[in-house]
Copies of this chain bind each other. A is one copy, B any other.
Amino acid sequence: MARVYNFSAGPAVLPEEVLQEAADEMMDYRGCGLSVMEMSHRSKTFDDIINTAKQDLKDLMNIPDDYEILFVQGGASQQFAAVPMNLMRNRVADYIVTGQWAKKAYQEGQIYGDAYKIASSEDKTFSYIPDCSDLPIHDNADYVYICENNTIYGTKFWKLPNTKGKILVSDMSSCFLSQPVDVTNYGLIIAGAQKNIGPAGVVVVIIRKDLIRDDVLPCTPTMLKYKTHADNNSLYNTPPAYGIYICGKVFKWLKDMGGLTVMQERNEKKAKLLYDYLDKSKMFRGTVVKEDRSIMNVPFVTDSDELNKKFIAEAAQNGLVQLSGHRTVGGMRASIYNAMPYAGVEKLVKFMSDFEKENA
């Protein structure tokens, strides 16, 4: 087995220890004689799996008791509808559009009410985070929506917007668990698993309990009501059980690593190595304004499409894979989530440096 360094933006690299455990337990989960994939979600064993996962996430993020953790399906894309369906009581919401995913959320919001774009960075290809200290928040806005880390463009909100008292909803998919956050700043956090948590097909929702209500928009499917899942410990119907099991293993791994403060240090160190190289390179350059750089997704380019292609192909031959930029923007992108070891970024930077010399 020759594992590669996998820079995919998602589905993305998972900790080797987690995968190895999953492989070892595939035929027989801890003496049960069956796989977690084959296990009733109403069994005591699965109850332990989901409850342990919830508790470990609660510990990791220091989630207060007045917040509920849900495991749901459909990706963040489905949450783009669930958020307004559950929260848009006045049918008004403010969106800060800092990339394709925020834009999609904003467009979906328009199906359900008056969704306003109160700030955007589209004028410069989403290469920065707009000043959000004094935005025209609507008096009757039900929430302010952000995508906190923009996977495609490589920007991150390092300072949360001033919502002027309104509920903050954050799509945290690609920075979830990468550093400590103060959960009390948010009304609702959504995170697709396939970046920093586990396999695609699970979304973690962290919601302040007073926002879990029965009076959702009239056409809301039962499965899109947060209350449905909150009332049933995410077991209203069969959950994506195997995915939750893997997420639970990742939470345990993060605890073993020392928790989110340690992860932040590691992530900052990895990002610094790559950004420092980009800043001094004559061939490669980052595409994002420095102060808004993500430490999870690092897009970069050369001045030539041909050279970009050559780089991606040769990198892959050297065990550095999935370095293509998003299909809508081109260039390169290195996603360096929690599970990417420092050695992977070292090898990437070394390869970039060699490539630069050879192709100067």
Binding site for B on A (CB under 8 A): 1-4, 6, 8-14, 16, 19-20, 22-24, 26-28, 32-35, 37-43, 73-78, 80-82, 85, 108, 111-112, 192, 194, 198-202, 217-219, 221-224, 236-243, 246, 319, 321-322, 327
Contact = CB atoms under 8 A, between A and B. Distances in A.
Contact of A322 (B43, B75, B239): B43
B8 A40 contact: yes
A108 B242 contact: no
Contact of A81 (B39, B41, B108, B221): B221
A149 to B, nearest CB: 16
A201 B75 contact: no
Contact of A26 (B11, B22, B73): B22
Contacts of A202: 201
A240 B76 CA distance: 12
A74 B74 contact: yes
Given A14-B35, A19-B35, 6 more contacts: A2-B33, A6-B38, A33-B319, A33-B321, A40-B322, A81-B222
3 closest A-B pairs by beta carbon, nearest first, are A201-B240, A81-B221, A4-B33
21 contacts: A2-B33, A3-B33, A3-B34, A4-B34, A13-B38, A14-B37, A20-B26, A23-B24, A34-B321, A73-B78, A76-B237, A77-B236, A80-B221, A81-B224, A85-B221, A112-B219, A200-B238, A201-B241, A201-B243, A217-B219, A242-B243
Nearest to A101: B237
Q: How many copies of the shown chain assemble into the complex?
A: 2
Nearest to A108: B222
Contacts of A321: 32-34
Contacts of A4: 32-34
Nearest to A200: B238
A80 to B, nearest CB: 7
A27 B1 contact: yes
B43 A242 contact: no
A15 to B, nearest CB: 10
A218 B28 CA distance: 47
Contacts of A42: 327
Contacts of A1: 27-28, 33
B241 A200 contact: yes
Nearest to A31: B2
A77 B224 CA distance: 10
Contact of A34 (B6, B75, B82, B236): B6
B237 A240 contact: no
